[in-house]
């Protein structure tokens, strides 16, 4: 049966074009793949190929015609044995719109589709008896517990096995779990991260240790484009249960390439969860939750905290919910919001402020994404002031997000503009005195609070 050849769209944005030249004339036979015409768009001259075999019955558009809309009939293709008269029939009877597209069911455009309400994570409960352990020990124990609990969990990274971890976080794991499950890699972040993500897509549950989070940049494409997005792109078929962990932020005197906070980088990405433990309990409870989570979770640790001791519940079922902050110190005059090592700085600031008769509430975020906005907003409504404290840079940082939450959700309760305390907006210097000047200290927090109370 004779059919119409329509003006094709030859690029994602093309809506019309010029028919520059006919390469086949009426009466000529064509087979699929033959070039029949040249079309000019604003970007290029493209060749139009026949998609079926037949004979060109007639051309409907003259050479040089401009602004031909996509889907306009440009020629008639006759099937084997048909004569030219059939061309006229099809041209007369065809409704171009109908032949171009079939009517489809399209939901009406609602303008904005709001995100559904997400249930807040359960509150942390009282886990009873605790013992003092280092953050390093807590992280190690969390991995050991989960490796014992689930055969699909394995640890992979540089120096995690025989060397026992560059920072000794994986001490003893090779001995207990063997080289199948505690795997040393070459220095090849892009490769081993991609490999681990691939394994996770099949349902295994890798823990990827970056010797420091700085090196995650080598692998960031797999974290964002492969791990975080595949669930969505696959229509929910293929999740990626994986943990990316390692020390984040400044250590001491290691210079610009090894001293930076990645909280804001990763918190930006839908499809990822991001946690940042401060204490040993945070470290153990959050890492266990991260390993069990069916989604990719970034665990931002801190090298300086590794050796610090904190009380940690001894209950063997101890685990923390991802998405819940913890109020480390209650107060009534100002809310200090911090994560990771800055929780300690905020607590020190709160102690100094207390001596001046100022009562500061300190929130340890624990999770950066999802962010526990409920706890932040409730606190601000009580204290009427908020100061965020982070080690990372100020521009588009976590503090900017926290202050926005306060303004959007508790504006009428605020007695002062929200304030941010951040690391200075510069690459980390090496010199001891300069490095000290670049990182937030309790005095900066105290100053920010005093200013809020004064103004």
Partner 1 sequence: MDETPSASGRSNGPALSPETMKRAYRDMLLVRRFEEKAGQLYGMGLIGGFCHLYIGQEAVVVGIGLNMKQGDKSITSYRDHGQMLVAGMTPRGVMAELTGRSGGYSRGKGGSMHMFSREKEFYGGHGIVGAQVALGTGLAFANKYRGTDEVSIVYFGEGASAQGQVYESFNLAALHKLPCIYVIENNRYGMGTSIERASASKDLSRNGEPWGIASRKVDGMDIFAVHEAAQEAIEYCRAGKGPFLLEMETYRYRGHSMSDPAKYRQRAEVEEMRRTRDPIETLKAEMLRSGIEESVFKDIETDVKAIVADAAEFAQTSPEPDHSELWTDILVEA
Q: Which is nearer to partner 1, 62 or 115 (CB)?
A: 115
Peptide bond into 102 cis (omega under 30): no
Choosing from 126, 202, 395, 454, the residue that interacts with partner 1 (CB under 8 A) is 202
The region of 31-39, 260-268, 408-416, 433-441 touching partner 1 under the rule CB under 8 A is: 31-39
Q: Please, what is the minimum distance in Å from the beta carbon of residue 15 to partner 1?
A: 9
Q: Compute how many residues bind partner 1; rule: CB under 8 A.
A: 73
Q: Which is nearer to partner 1, 297 or 439 (CB)?
A: 297
* 81: contact with partner 1 by CB under 8 A: no
Measure Cα distances from 238 to 156, 207, 222, 273, 452 in Å.
Answer: 21, 18, 15, 17, 48
The region of 40-48, 309-317, 326-334, 445-453 touching partner 1 under the rule CB under 8 A is: 40-48
- C-alpha angle 450-330-413 in degrees, rounded to nearest 5: 60
Binding pattern to partner 1, positions 85-124, x when CB under 8 A? ---------------xxx-xxxx--x--x-xx--------
* 395: contact with partner 1 by CB under 8 A: no
Choosing from 37, 46, 287, 428, the residue that interacts with partner 1 (CB under 8 A) is 46
Which of 146, 258, 301, 391 is the catalytic position?
Answer: 258
Q: Which is nearer to partner 1, 159 or 348 (CB)?
A: 159
Q: Which is nearer to partner 1, 203 or 307 (CB)?
A: 203
Which of 82, 146, 158, 189 is the catalytic position?
Answer: 189
* Parallel, antiparallel or unpaired: strands 367-369 and 386-389: unpaired
Q: Please, what is the minimum distance in Å from the beta carbon of residue 72 to partner 1?
A: 11
Is 176 annotated as catalytic? no
Exposure string of 323-334, with b = 16+ CB inside 10 Å and e = fewer, is: bbbbebbebebb
Query: How far apart are the C-alpha atoms of 307 and 196, rounded to whole Å?
Result: 29
Tokens of 443: 């005095």
Cα dihedral value 310, 314, 316, 318, nearest 10: -50
- C-alpha angle 144-131-311 in degrees, rounded to nearest 5: 95
Q: Looking only at residues 411 through 440 of this chain, which bind partner 1 when binding is defined by CB under 8 A? A: none
Ordered DSSP codes for 331-397: -SSEEEEE-TTHHHHHHHHHHHHHHTT--EEEEE--EEES--HHHHHHHHHHHS-EEEE-SS-STT-
Choosing from 180, 395, 412, 433, the residue that interacts with partner 1 (CB under 8 A) is 180
Q: Looking only at residues 295 through 314 of this chain, which bind partner 1 when binding is defined by CB under 8 A? A: 295
* 222: contact with partner 1 by CB under 8 A: yes
* C-beta of residue 301 within 8 angstroms of C-beta of residue 139: yes
Report residue 263: phi and psi, to 5°: -55, -45
Query: How far apart are the C-alpha atoms of 278 and 296, rounded to whole Å?
Result: 20
Is 189 annotated as catalytic? yes
Choosing from 22, 192, 215, 266, the residue that interacts with partner 1 (CB under 8 A) is 192
* 65: contact with partner 1 by CB under 8 A: no
* 76: contact with partner 1 by CB under 8 A: no
Q: Looking only at residues 330 through 389 of this chain, which bind partner 1 when binding is defined by CB under 8 A? A: none
Q: Is 123 exposed, middle or buried (0-12, 13-18, 19+ CB in 10 A)?
A: exposed
Q: Please, what is the minimum distance in Å from the beta carbon of residue 228 to partner 1?
A: 9
Q: Please, what is the minimum distance in Å from the beta carbon of residue 90 to partner 1?
A: 17
CA nearest neighbour of 403 among 381, 388, 423, 393: 388
Q: 351 CB contacts (<8 Å, ≥6 apart)?
A: none
The region of 53-61, 190-198, 389-397, 402-410 touching partner 1 under the rule CB under 8 A is: 190-198
Q: Which is nearer to partner 1, 106 or 123 (CB)?
A: 106
Q: Looking only at residues 242 through 281 of this chain, which bind partner 1 when binding is defined by CB under 8 A? A: 270-271, 273
Query: How far apart are the C-alpha atoms of 358 and 342, rounded to whole Å?
Result: 19
The region of 221-229, 338-346, 412-420, 445-453 touching partner 1 under the rule CB under 8 A is: 221-229
* 8: contact with partner 1 by CB under 8 A: yes
Choosing from 18, 212, 214, 230, the residue that interacts with partner 1 (CB under 8 A) is 230
Q: Which is nearer to partner 1, 79 or 100 (CB)?
A: 100
- C-alpha angle 87-92-96 in degrees, rounded to nearest 5: 100
Q: Is 254 exposed, middle or buried (0-12, 13-18, 19+ CB in 10 A)?
A: middle
Q: Which is nearer to partner 1, 214 or 383 (CB)?
A: 214
Catalytic center residues: 189, 258
């Amino acid at each position: 049966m004779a059919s119409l050849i329509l003006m094709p769209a030859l690029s994602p944005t093309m809506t019309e074009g010029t028919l520059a030249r006919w390469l086949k004339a009426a009466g000529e036979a064509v087979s699929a793949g033959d070039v029949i015409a040249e079309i000019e768009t604003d970007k290029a001259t493209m060749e139009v190929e026949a998609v079926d075999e037949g004979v060109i019955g007639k051309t409907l558009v003259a050479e040089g015609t401009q602004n031909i809309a996509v889907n306009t009939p440009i020629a008639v293709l006759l099937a084997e044995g048909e004569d030219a008269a059939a061309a006229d029939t099809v041209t007369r009877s065809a409704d171009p719109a109908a032949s171009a597209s079939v009517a489809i069911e399209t939901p009406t455009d609602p303008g904005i589709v709001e995100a559904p309400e997400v249930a807040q994570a359960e509150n942390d409960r009282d886990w009873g008896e605790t013992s003092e352990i280092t953050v390093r020990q807590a992280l190690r124990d969390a991995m050991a517990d989960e490796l014992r609990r689930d055969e699909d969990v394995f640890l992979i990274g540089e120096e995690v096995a025989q060397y026992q971890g560059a920072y000794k976080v994986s001490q003893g794991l090779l001995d207990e779990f063997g080289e199948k499950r505690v795997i040393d890699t070459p220095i090849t972040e892009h490769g081993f991260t991609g490999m681990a993500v691939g394994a996770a897509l099949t349902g295994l549950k890798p823990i990827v240790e970056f010797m420091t989070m700085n090196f995650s940049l080598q692998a960031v494409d797999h974290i964002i484009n492969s791990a975080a997005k595949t669930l969505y792109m696959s229509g929910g078929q293929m999740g990626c249960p994986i943990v990316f962990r390692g020390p984040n932020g400044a250590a001491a005197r290691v210079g610009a390439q090894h001293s930076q906070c990645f909280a804001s980088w990763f918190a930006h990405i839908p499809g990822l969860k991001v946690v940042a433990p401060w204490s040993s309990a945070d470290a153990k409870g959050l890492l266990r939750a991260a390993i069990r989570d069916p989604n990719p979770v970034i665990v931002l640790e801190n090298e300086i905290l590794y050796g610090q001791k904190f009380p940690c519940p001894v209950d063997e079922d101890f685990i923390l919910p991802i998405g819940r902050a913890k109020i480390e110190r209650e107060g009534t005059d100002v809310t200090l919001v911090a994560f990771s090592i800055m929780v300690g700085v905020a607590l020190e600031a709160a102690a100094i402020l207390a001596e001046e008769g100022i009562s500061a509430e300190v929130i340890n975020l624990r999770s950066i994404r999802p962010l526990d906005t409920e706890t932040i907003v409730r606190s601000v409504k009580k204290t009427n002031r908020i100061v965020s404290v982070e080690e990372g840079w100020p521009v588009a940082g976590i503090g900017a997000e926290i202050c926005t939450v306060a303004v959007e959700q508790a504006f009428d309760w605020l007695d002062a503009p929200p304030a941010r305390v951040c690391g200075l907006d510069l690459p980390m210097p090496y010199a001891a005195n300069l490095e000290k000047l670049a990182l937030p200290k309790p005095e900066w927090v105290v100053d920010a609070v005093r200013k809020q109370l004064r103004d």
